[in-house]
Amino acid sequence: MPIQVGIDLVSADTVEAALKTAHGERYLERVYTDRELEDCTTAHGVDPERLAARFAAKEATLKVLPAGDTGLSLRSIEVLRDPTGRVSIGLTGRAAELATSEGFVEFALSLSHEAGMAAAVVVARAPDEPAPT
Amino acid sequence: MNQLIRTVLAGHARLPVDVTTLDDTADLYEAGMTSHASVNVMLGLEDAFDTEFPDAMLKRSVFASVSAIAEALKSLGVEAP
């Protein structure tokens, strides 16, 4: 199928709670890349809503791949943000392998966060099947 | 071991039900554990059992039930405390 869509919704409260646990630092290290953490850091510190949006993006991507019961690090799915603010998905490691095996050549991402909730939609495109001869 | 696993679940799984009401094979995701909560369960288990889950074990089935978690920990060489 040439187009696949994934969506996920995450509460910023759950992210904030994770940051306050004894494993808060490891939570950041195991889930988010350095670039993601930089994009989520404001003058007031790490923004739980932005982190929640990125977690939602990772989960939405997993639904698209689809990861099934494959073990992979969430850091292998990265939300990239360009200077204009446009976001995209970058894949490495096992996530990249899954995308290649499914024939996906392009991923599009949209994020939204407001009032403590964050959502992400991921669209993956594979080339159309060649017309039968 | 299972008791300590349940303690971690009580602290991090954010289940809408009391973890003591679930048997060892009950599906934790069906009981209400989200993907985000499962990440925190994983980290809590690493702290409680002084171990680390490799990337290959960061998958849904490993954290699906108390029994599944126990088997995963045993495969990492963790012994019952």
- Alpha carbon of B50: minimum distance to chain A alpha carbons (Å): 12
Taking residues A63-80, report their average pLDDT. 92
In eight-state DSSP terms, residue A107 is E
- Alpha carbon of B27: minimum distance to chain A alpha carbons (Å): 15
Report the chain A residue with the minimal C-alpha distance to residue B13. Answer: A14
Calculate the alpha carbon distances from A32 to A40, A56, B10, B57, B70 in Å: 10, 12, 25, 18, 27
- pLDDT at position A67 is 83
* pTM of the complete model: 0.93
Taking residues A93-106, report their average pLDDT. 94
pLDDT digits (tens, 9 = 90+) for B32-72: 999 999 999 999 999 999 999 999 999 999 999 999 999 99
pLDDT digits (tens, 9 = 90+) for B4-41: 999 999 999 999 999 999 999 999 999 999 999 999 99
Tell me the residue type at B80.
A
Report the chain B residue with the minimal C-alpha distance to residue A18. Answer: B40
The residues with which A41 forms a beta bridge, in sequence order, are A46
- Alpha carbon of B20: minimum distance to chain A alpha carbons (Å): 22
In this complex, the residue of B36, B46, B55 whose CB is nearest that of residue A71 is B55
Calculate the alpha carbon distances from A45 to A40, A122, B31, B39, B49 in Å: 8, 27, 34, 22, 31
Tell me the residue type at A97.
E
Q: Quote ipTM for the complex.
A: 0.91
